[in-house]
Amino acid sequence: MNLFAATGTVLEGGNRKFCMQKAQLAYVSSLLSLNNTYAQELHAKFLIDPEE
């Protein structure tokens, strides 16, 4: 899921990675509020940067 395609946000430059991580954490935090195993696994996935 591309979070920025869903929100229409376009980011360029050095802030892009930081903002993407913040958006991912906000999205995952909303899933964690469901308190289920899938959300916890997804949170662990985003702790590792998929681009590196």
The model carries a pTM of 0.32
d(CA 34, CA 4): 22
Residue 50 has pLDDT above 60, yes or no: no
Task: Provide mean pLDDT across the span 7-24.
Answer: 66
When the pLDDT of each residue in the chain is averaged and rounded to a whole number, the result is 65
Share of the chain above pLDDT 70, in %: 33
Q: Where are the alpha helices (DSSP H) in 1-52?
A: 3-7, 15-32, 37-46
